[in-house]
A = this chain, B = another copy of it.
Amino acid sequence: MGKAYNVMAATCPSRTVLHRIGARWTVFIVNALDNRPMRFTELKAHIRGITPKALTETLRAMEYDGLISRTEIPANPPHVEYALTDLGRSLLAPLRAIREWAESHVPDIERARAQADAQR
**A residues neighboring B (CB under 8 Å):** 3-11, 13-15, 17-22, 24, 27-28, 31-32, 46-49, 63-67, 87, 90-91, 93-95, 97-99, 101-106, 108-113, 115-116
Contacts and interface: CB of A to CB of B under 8 A. Distances in A.
B101 A98 contact: no
A87 B116 contact: no
A8 B31 CA distance: 9
Contact of A28 (B4, B7, B13, B49): B7
A24 B21 CA distance: 11
A102 B65 contact: no
Contacts of A87: 105, 108-109, 112
Contacts of A109: 17, 20, 65-66, 87
A47 B98 CA distance: 22
Nearest to A98: B94
A65 B108 CA distance: 8
A65 B58 CA distance: 27
